[in-house]
Amino acid sequence: METIENVREFEKTPLYEQFPFTNSYELLMNAAQQFGDGHALEFLLQGLPEEKEQSTTYRELGEQVTRTANLLYSLGINTADSVSIILPVLPQTHFAIWGAQAAGISNPINPMLEAEHMAEIISAANSKVIICLGKSPATDIWEKAIAAAALTDSVTTIIAVNAAGMCDPSATLPEGSTLTLHDFDNAIAAMSAEKLDSGRDFEASEIAAYFHTGGTTGRPKLAQLTHGNMAFVGQLMQVYTAHMEHHTVLCGLPLFHIYGCIIQGIASFAVGYRIFLMTPSGFRSPTAMPNIWKLIDRFKVKQISAVPTVLMALSEIPVGDADISSLTNLNSGAAPLSRPFELSFEERFNVEIGNGYGMTETTSVISRAPIDQPPGSVGMRTPYGGIRIVQLDGATVTKNCEIGDSGAILVKGPQVFAGYKVEADNRNAWVEDGWFNTGDLGYLDENDCLFLSGRAKDLIIRSGHNIDPELIEEPINSHPDVVTSVAIGLPDAYTGELPMAYVVLTQGSSLTEQELIDYAAGLISERAAIPKRIDFLQEMPLTAVGKIFRPALRQKIGEEVVAGLLAGANIAAEISSENEKKRGLVIKVVAHDKSQIEAINDLVKSYIFSTDVS
């Protein structure tokens, strides 16, 4: 399906005739039967070139998922019950995620979060059981999971995954704990692998997973993905890869992340790929990353999916004598990738970099890159769904945009989630007749290829004039010395905000701020969007899944602006900032001389950010 005409022809056959499976469990069991003794997973604990791998066949994968589901069922987990999973990248993580969905609802959680944040997510999911890593000197996941469980009212059971060579299986719960503890491997070994003891009949509309997508302190936002969502994406992958031979995919992404879980999980299993799990830390492994080219050679990896920061790291690792000719495809996502960097990477390593588009709420898929992908595009829509570009007033469509005109991106289709768990989070998320508002801006070309142009909430507002950050970032990113850039609003007492950018340069570049401003000015079509300031960074602040964290940059520039004001007035103070739920960015100033508080308030009163002065 390389053209929109192909997609439309495919859609003439009803969905459930094309895709008969309606749930993740039966899709997995079909893969277990079809691919049998073929390897589903290869795992390395350390990431050393000669290290012995731990292999899992498709038959074993099906058995372990079934055993996990039966263990959870024996512990009282039914279809509406949630299981929180706090694990790094391990074979058991897949057993836990898909077994939890077969018994109830899986709730993968970022193991790098603090215990209090974990507890909020667990409570929001109302989980009865936590499956977490056992006690290990390499990480504090065990300690945080136990502490998080103690902060909830719902958790009754801890199941510890005592990964060989990583964990201490003799660890016990803290004295006085009322929780029940099980060893994961031992407990599932005692369960039947033949069939589900529950005798469950699945419905496509049943919730399969709660994925944490953000939210505020005290009330995390959980996206509800259905079994139908999972099964659709898995079977869609079968169609997209029907012309390809079975091959190996390197997974360095965390499995709590939607892409690592779905595209490099259920979708890859559905087509019989061999998935190489590159250590529990994935791309964060300080041992595996220097060896990555040798590991690609050893496992004959054909495909890698990564965020731009990983691609930048790869570009600085010597290939040496490794044979990486098996590697042909790289998928980049989560953040913009500089076009010059992309082209140089492709030429240097003889690979193709594809850019698709998806999010947690769409089971990671909105559009897919065709073979002939227009530069800058994120591909075409998937079958049985739709993409609309509109102008919005709140949750009301005021205009359907013409071809080439940018607007809000709305999506619809069998991959779109069932809504957020808390109804209040669904306000303004849905637009007329079930269209989901992605919060992104973009446009469609004459071939129905989608181009992203920013996020609606990231707009720079200069004297009431909206400036799309992409107007600034795209020209800056076209400079050969630029790796990536982020445009944000520079707080200004007169206009509210002026455009500025943070930029990461290529190693060894001597490019100056003024040279880059002049370069961008020659390409930016809107004069008001020409940046007034460009600051260079060694690296961008990132979220746990590798996305650029814009709020940190807004905090940084807000603090710098206030510091400059105070320095100009010879006022000494401590400055910090916080992104609050109701007020947004708040700059906090603690004056050394309390008699200067009024003067400080006068200095900052004209700025659009909130301030706390004491």
Distance CA 597, CA 575 (A): 13
Of the chain, the percentage scoring pLDDT greater than 70 comes to 95
Distance CA 254, CA 89 (A): 6
Which tokens sit at 363?
Answer: 């089971």
Residue 580 confidence (pLDDT) above 80: no
pLDDT at 582: 40
Burial (CB count <10 Å: 0-12, 13-18, 19+), residue 289: buried
- CA dihedral defined by 391, 396, 398, 401, rounded to 10 degrees? 40
- Amino acid letter, residue 515: E
Instruction: Dump pLDDT digits (tens) for 5-42.
Output: 999 999 999 999 999 999 999 999 999 999 999 999 99
Of the chain, the percentage scoring pLDDT greater than 90 comes to 71
Which tokens sit at 563?
Answer: 């510091």
Residues 550, 553, 557, 560, CA torsion sign: positive
Closest CA to 106 of 91, 117, 122: 122
Instruction: Dump pLDDT digits (tens) for 528-552.
Output: 889 999 999 999 998 876 788 888 9
pLDDT at 456: 59
Lowest mean pLDDT among 84-98, 156-170, 519-533: 519-533
All residues at 6 or more sequence positions from 608 whose CB lies less than 8 Å from its CB, including other chains: 491, 496, 497
**CATH for 459-548, options being 3.30.300.30, 3.40.50.2020, 3.40.720.10, 3.90.1150.10:** 3.30.300.30
Residue 396 pLDDT class (50, 70, 90 cuts): confident
Instruction: Dump pLDDT digits (tens) for 165-181.
Output: 999 999 999 999 999 99
Mean pLDDT value across residues 303-322: 88
Contact 604, 491 (CB under 8 A): no
Instruction: Dump pLDDT digits (tens) for 251-299.
Output: 999 999 899 999 999 999 999 999 999 999 999 999 999 999 999 999 9
Lowest mean pLDDT among 26-35, 203-212, 334-343, 574-583: 334-343
Where do the domains of the chain lie? 4-368, 459-548, 552-613
**What is the H or E stretch that residue 15 is in?**
helix 15-18
pLDDT at 216: 43
Does domain 4-368 fall into CATH 1.25.40.90?
Answer: no
- b/e map 388-412, b = 16+ CB within 10 Å: bbbebeeeebeeebeeeebbbbbbb
pLDDT at 1: 72
Closest CA to 231 of 274, 201, 265, 197: 265
Q: Pairing relation of β-strands 82-86 and 533-537?
A: unpaired
pLDDT at 583: 59
Instruction: Dump pLDDT digits (tens) for 424-481.
Output: 889 889 998 889 999 888 899 998 999 887 665 677 877 655 677 888 998 999 999 9
**What is the H or E stretch that residue 342 is in?**
helix 339-349
Which tokens sit at 146?
Answer: 């136990």
For residue 343, the tally of other CB atoms under 10 A from its CB is 13
Lowest mean pLDDT among 178-187, 387-396, 542-551: 542-551
Mean pLDDT value across residues 119-123: 94
- Amino acid letter, residue 298: R
Residue 310 pLDDT class (50, 70, 90 cuts): confident
Q: Which residue stretches of 362-488 are H helix?
A: 469-477
Distance CA 393, CA 398 (A): 6
Residue 357 pLDDT class (50, 70, 90 cuts): confident
pLDDT at 291: 97
Contact 127, 83 (CB under 8 A): yes
Closest CA to 554 of 472, 494, 490: 490
Residue 581 confidence (pLDDT) above 50: no
365/526: higher pLDDT? 365
Per 3-state DSSP, the chain is made up of helix, strand and coil in percentages (nearest 5) of 35, 30, 40
Beta-bridged to residue 458, according to DSSP, are none
Mean pLDDT, all residues of the chain: 91
